[in-house]
Structure 1
Amino acid sequence: MAAPNEAGNKKKSSYELMSAETKAMQDDASLNPAMFWVAEGESLWQSKAGSKNIACASCHGDAKKSMRGVATQYPKMVKGKLQTLEGQINQCRSGAQGSPALAYESKELLAITAYIALQSKGMPIAVRETSANKAELEKGRHSFNERMGQLNLSCAQCHEDRAGLKLGGSPIPQGHPNAYPIYRLEWQTLGSLQRRLRNCMSGVRAQQFEYGSPEMAQLELFLMWRAKGMLLEAPGVRP
């Protein structure tokens, strides 16, 4: 099964569609608002927590070494379950630290995710189809191509069939997830890929997948597989 755009149109990050000013915000750490979350994530990495009173660093050491390349591999199968990066962070919290799971879109979960993702910035997305994830990948592919909502549109109709055209005066991107979590100027805060997917579902007036649901993980898996080889930009900035 070949990835879309692999043999035809070149995979293009939505970074290439942004203004010079917005690109500069992403490129310069002193201008990128997401770096406030990264700094918080670095602090949380070192902070002991939970009933076991241990930190992320207690197990994983220096994130700049131990987390390099990690974000390029998620979602992936972990002990027979498809796990997103956020899901794995929460699994470590509950299992290793004895801490409650962090809420999706909470400052803390976004901060740790952004800090981990930063360690893989500039590395190619490495998600591949395997015998272990094939069924989950197919479900994500189905979600991407299935029409949904009152507008009866699929992800593919916008981000493949109409990519490069304009909607409301703005170019339609190919819909690659290579910059998440992102600081979106429209949101005025950092947000996850799942938040963006839920925005799209709301836009076509469809029932949104729940945060942390298997359906979200499957769709994330397909999108990361579809973007394999693209360089990770996280944490990105978008309009």
Structure 2
Amino acid sequence: MAEPPDPPISGLQWATPAIQEMQADDFANPGMFWLERGETAFATPAGQAGKSCANCHADGDLDGKAADFPKVEGGRVVNLAARINRCRTDQMAAEPLSLESDPLLSLTLYVRSLSAGDPISIAIDGDAEPFFRKGEALYHQRRGQMNLACTQCHDDRPGEWLRGEQLSQGQINGFPAYLLRWSGVGSAHRRFRFCDDQRIAEPLPLGSDAYLALELYVAWRGNGLPVEVPAVRR
């Protein structure tokens, strides 16, 4: 069995004081715009059923629920964005929202905000184990022209500097997060693609089974860290 970092350290701890202050201040945190749009969308009916998310989920119903995503449901890894889209199609008779779109990121941020501060708790036993192993293998696989694996930066060298940026443990307890380099909110899968670009490897599709397995593994590495919403990263 793989060993998680001991202790796990949020990417916030590696951020500059200015970024830490920005995240802590609701008036300065740019991710709040996405969260507020998500709160509005949560209460707005959509689809042929004429229902909103709030019609099914009363106050307090989703508190803490986001802390154990991604998880295995129906024989595959499901992250929070995919679970929201399933609710839209199955319960609201609405079209699924496009991956990495502002509407889906906003809704995901709002639902995660209902678990803000709760400890990440990812299960990797039972049906989840083969997906966890697949994610673990991808995390340790050298890829791209630079022949780099995730583990070489985020397990072997956290705290060291690379290209003017301090390496972290690669924790995703704050994703979707507002990234200053993107001037917007992005998912963990978009961050995975960014890392692939940096090592000159072919990025995998957003929402792919491989990235979902990787998300399961990386999220497990952060078990016990608090859900941060909206997180701000460089």
Q: Please classify the TM superposition score into its range, dividing by the shorter chain length.
A: over 0.9
Alignment partner of 1:165 is 2:160? yes
Deviation string, structure 1 residues 96-131 (Cα, Å, up to 9, x no partner) = 111111111111000000001111111110102211
2:116 equivalent in structure 1: 121
Alignment partner of 1:22 is 2:12? no
Partners in 1 of 2:169 and 2:76 — Cα distance?
Answer: 28
- Mapping 1:20-59, distance limit 5 Å: 20-59=17-56
Deviation string, structure 1 residues 117-162 (Cα, Å, up to 9, x no partner) = 1111111101022111000000000000000011110000111111
User: CA shift at 1:2, angstroms?
Assistant: 4.5
SS at match of 1:87: helix
User: CA shift at 1:79, angstroms?
Assistant: 2.4
| Matched letter for residue 81 of structure 1 | R
The question of whether the paired residues in 1 share the 8 Å contact of 2:105 and 2:186 is answered with yes
- Mapping 1:195-234, distance limit 5 Å: 195-234=190-229
Deviation string, structure 1 residues 173-209 (Cα, Å, up to 9, x no partner) = 0100011111111111111111111000111111111
User: CA shift at 1:226, angstroms?
Assistant: 1.0
- Mapping 1:7-156, distance limit 5 Å: 10-62=7-59, 65-156=60-151
Partners in 2 of 1:18 and 1:166 — Cα distance?
Answer: 13
| Matched letter for residue 171 of structure 1 | Q
Partners in 1 of 2:194 and 2:2 — Cα distance?
Answer: 28
Unaligned runs of 5+ residues in structure 2 are: none
Deviation string, structure 1 residues 47-83 (Cα, Å, up to 9, x no partner) = 1110111100111122xx1221122111111222210
Unaligned runs of 5+ residues in structure 1 are: none
May I ask how many residue pairs the two structures share in their alignment?
234
The question of whether the paired residues in 1 share the 8 Å contact of 2:155 and 2:169 is answered with yes
Once the two structures are aligned, what percentage of the paired residues are identical?
A: 36
RMSD (CA atoms): 1.1
SS at match of 1:71: helix
| Matched letter for residue 229 of structure 1 | G
Deviation string, structure 1 residues 205-228 (Cα, Å, up to 9, x no partner) = 111111111111100000111110
The question of whether the paired residues in 1 share the 8 Å contact of 2:204 and 2:211 is answered with yes
SS at match of 2:126: coil
Partners in 2 of 1:28 and 1:201 — Cα distance?
Answer: 32
The question of whether the paired residues in 2 share the 8 Å contact of 1:128 and 1:228 is answered with no
TM-score by length of 1: 0.95
Q: 2:169 aligns with which of 171, 174, 180?
A: 174
Partners in 2 of 1:150 and 1:80 — Cα distance?
Answer: 34
SS at match of 2:45: coil
